[in-house]
A and B are shown apart, each in its own frame.
Chain A
Amino acid sequence: MSRLEEREAALLALASRVVELAGRGESLEAYALHNVGTSVSAFEGAIERLTSAETLGVGLRLIVGGALGFAATSDVSDEGLALALAEARSNAELGTPDLGNVLPSPPTMLPEPVPGLVDGSLPDVPAARKVAIALELDRLTASLDPRVRRAEGVSYGDAATSVAVCSSAGVAASYSRTDAYAFVSALARSGDETQTGSGFTEGRGVDALDLTAAAREAVDRSVRLLGARKPATATVPVVLDRGVTADFLGVLADAFSADAVQKGRSLLAGQLGQRVASEIVTIVDDGRAAGSPGAAPFDDEGVATRRTPVITAGVLTGYLHNTETAAREGGAARSTGNAARGSYATAPGVAPTNLLLDHPGIDPADVLRMAGTGLYVQQVSGIHSGVNQVSGELSVGATGLWIRDGELAEPVRELTVSSTIPDMLGALLAVGNDRRWYPRGGSFAGCTVLIGAMTVAGS
């Protein structure tokens, strides 16, 4: 057995040991997580920080008489686990009995494994190799363009993660995954002016990283903003960079959550079967998408992941459920495998696995041509404060380039773009064929898109 396999087996044994502590009339679930990672940051040709991290913890979900109590601990000794169970019991005593408080029943078949989640060599990569990756990305970034003399910062990170879920309802499942990434922010200078641009590369292991591409991306994105000015206020067609599309998918994600719908917090509540977007918009949550960062065989309560279309050709066709939100629908829904936890220390909520615009798309250059004159948004800021999740109104800061005659022209900064999420979905006129996965506190696939009109505020 490899080191990672051994760790996963030990974790499954830990979770099952917890479940054996359940008393009569108690439903108990243990979610155990073991994460071993390294991170490195470099600055001006030297290593700044090297961190070795190991996290092990377990979250206990206890249901008694329909009431839920939760407790978590990073102390996995017998005493630590007993203390956590006592906390969960006292929390359940105060809980409100609810239809939604049920644990998933075990699947008739074990979830199909998802291939390619592990690069078995990662746990054995020496720290020196990781240090060399960070230094190399730092060096490359400073060598591509005379206006970029150095990086603002460079980081490398990796993690080998094992997850185990066991419950008194009969669930017993585990899997492991590995992840590696490198990130760089380039600093372009011209006279007194400074602009930044970022690039990244990610994969299952260090061999999957393309450092040259990440450096090139960061340098190009910083340099092309030099000389940026504030544009005049106008309402124009807007082309979103694929990373910005991923940002907006991230904002839209919560609207698809059945939990948000049931609580009246979703702007898509009550619109199943209705047109909510232009015909070219098909959005799918795919927990098994090939090559996606968010792929896993089962969700954070052990339910098999799957493919769930939420918008099909502009029509709202579904919401994302975990076991709790499905149970609240009283048999009208079942879990879509979208239970998600922030960490072992939180009870599951609902979140997308991998959210993507499902469209073959056209050449991104043709998307620009369709826009004619307008704004190309390279980066947005303040997206989490600038979007009202409930009303869908949005106004965010942006930097980018003006589009003239269907091509990128002069850079612009210090502007805001505004619209509403329903208006943006309705005015989505073209999709590029340049899909790329972005880890943005979730996994979202970006591609270049054209929005027919948005308000751009400058001077």
Chain B
Amino acid sequence: MLDESDVRDVLAAALASGGDWAEIYAERRDSTAIHLEDHRIEQLTSNRLQGAGVRVVKGTQSAYAHTNVLRRAALLDAAKAAAAGIAGDRPVSVADLTRTEPAVRHPARLAPHQVGKADKVAIARRCEEAAWAEGTEVRQVSVSYADVAQRVLIANSLGQLADTTRIRTRLAASVVAARDGLVQTGFEGPGASKGLEHFDEHPPEGIGALAAQRALRLLDSVPMPAGQMTVVLSAGGGGVLFHEACGHGLEADAIGKDNSVYSRTRGERVGSELFSGVDDPTLPGAWGSYEFDDEGTPARSATLFDHGDQVGVLSDRISAHRIGARSTGHGRRQSYAHLPQPRMANSLVLPGSDDPAAIIADVTDGLYCVELGGGEVKSATGDFVFGVNEGYLIERGELTRRVRGATLIGNGPRTLALVDAVGTDFELKQGMCGKGGQWVPVSFGTPTLRIASLTVGGTAA
């Protein structure tokens, strides 16, 4: 993508007026997006995005400039613009570049460019038809197919050079079902850091059918009664809770600035002793995985909680510098047009020793959440909220009525302390995580988890 001598010259120009270190991040991203709705191809889009950004860093300060022209002159202009943002007195030299090797690779067997567009449309069609086939109460089906091949080159003045290709594939179905004026929606959208071999593991028909079945099941649901109760999260279904309620608060930018509810409890017992969690970008082929983070640091797993003890953080270079540590390899950015931030990749709660069926059977009165929707958290207070897409009331140890409109609300550390059962099972789900206006792919995985008491909002009168 870029010539190595150009890279060296750009880094030298970036440090012409000083700074601790400089970096260039360049990418070329080819993507295909297919959107089917209302029985037709609503959109078939090809996009080529390319560009590079130059960053000059001094302490925790950074100046950044980017361009979408990948030519020497434009890159040197960006370097000068970035250099102007950092006050220094003399030039800093650039170390010889050495290629870094990642700890793990995520190779694609069937890369997007090896498959014709007509075949990709056929994959989306199979998913769509399976959803419609679930019955006459299915009123609308939309299917989104996306593949991305992203080539990234990252080099810095400390001499590190990383070159990586990331391939991701995802197929998602969203279904609207209706009966007697009641309208409900269902969604399923597995994705992976793989090529189109992803669909061997997740056949398109299964994705469409599952989304439709979810919407249809909700037609039989009753509005959720509000109150405080025991909450059981299914394997995989609780992942977004861990992501929102703990993960964001353990990102080292919030920790280092004392902007996180977890800033003052490092090394302390926070959660129940049943609770252990990590963030692992090396998980083979997972949606949130990578070989290098977006600063060229090789991916590695970071332990966040060990039997209830808060033991780790997620950092990029600058947030690590702020807390006097080394980057954990969690610096991520949406594209060359963005600065990296410490982010999660695949956040996982580790399985425990409880039988998942017994976890439910022991509850007198509660809510079983099969799938949670998106959520939100305030890092400073730890307060979180998220919606329950599919839930069931637990009455005397049995799943009884299906409920809709439930919302879970609570506080991260206090909720962790209330985990009183962790299942032996485990499942992984995929999503897109937003922070500071940037979106990156993430996975979250959990066993079945039980929280002794949580406030549940509902729409029942």
Contact = CB atoms under 8 A, between A and B. Distances in A.
Interface of A: 43-44, 46-57, 68-75, 80, 83-84, 87-88, 90-92, 94-96, 98, 127, 152-153, 187, 194-196, 230, 233, 235, 262-265, 267, 345-347, 381-382, 384-386, 388-391, 393-397, 399, 413-420, 455, 457-459
A233 B227 contact: yes
Chain B contact residues (Cβ within 8 angstroms of A): what range? 35 or more
Contact of B48 (A74, A194, A416): A74
5 contacts: A84-B48, A388-B185, A391-B183, A416-B385, A457-B455
Contacts of A88: 46
B457 A56 contact: no
Interface in B397-432: 404-407, 409-411
B46 A71 contact: yes
B228 interface: yes
Given A52-B81, A385-B375, A457-B458, A418 B407 contact: yes
B226 A233 contact: yes
B182 to A, nearest CB: 7
Contacts of A80: 48
B5 interface: no
Contact of B410 (A71, A265, A414): A414
A225 to B, nearest CB: 9
Interface stretch (B34-42, B148-156, B200-208): B34-42
Contacts of B377: 381
Given A95-B41, A382-B386, A414 B411 contact: yes
A94 B44 contact: yes
Given A153-B259, A384-B374, A457-B456, A50 B226 contact: no
Q: DSSP class of B's interface residues: helix, strand, loop or mixed?
A: strand
Contacts of B64: 49-52
Given A91-B44, A95-B44, A397-B376, 4 more contacts: A49-B339, A70-B45, A420-B459, A457-B455
Contacts of A459: 228, 455
A92 B178 CA distance: 33
A389 B240 CA distance: 21
A236 to B, nearest CB: 13
Nearest to B223: A393
B47 A73 contact: yes
A263 B141 CA distance: 9
A458 B380 CA distance: 21
Interface of B: 37-38, 40-41, 43-51, 60-68, 78, 81-82, 84-85, 117-118, 121, 139-140, 142, 176, 178, 182-185, 223-224, 226-228, 257, 259, 261, 337, 339, 373-378, 380-381, 383-387, 404-407, 409-411, 455-461
A187 B381 CA distance: 10
A264 B409 CA distance: 31
Contacts of B60: 43, 46, 48
A47 B49 CA distance: 30
A402 to B, nearest CB: 17
A58 to B, nearest CB: 11
A257 to B, nearest CB: 13
A264 B139 contact: yes
Given A48-B60, A152-B380, A96 B41 contact: yes
Given A413-B383, A415-B455, A455-B459, A52 B374 contact: no
A74 B46 CA distance: 12
A457 B45 contact: no
A416 B383 CA distance: 12
A394 B259 CA distance: 30
Given A88-B46, A390-B185, A416-B455, A457 B257 contact: no
Contact of B65 (A51, A265, A420): A51
Nearest to A235: B461
Given A50-B64, A390-B183, A391-B182, A455 B455 contact: no
Nearest to B178: A264
A393 B384 CA distance: 20
B121 A457 contact: no
A92 B43 CA distance: 10
Given A267-B183, A385-B387, A418 B458 contact: yes
B61 A382 contact: no
A416 B408 CA distance: 8
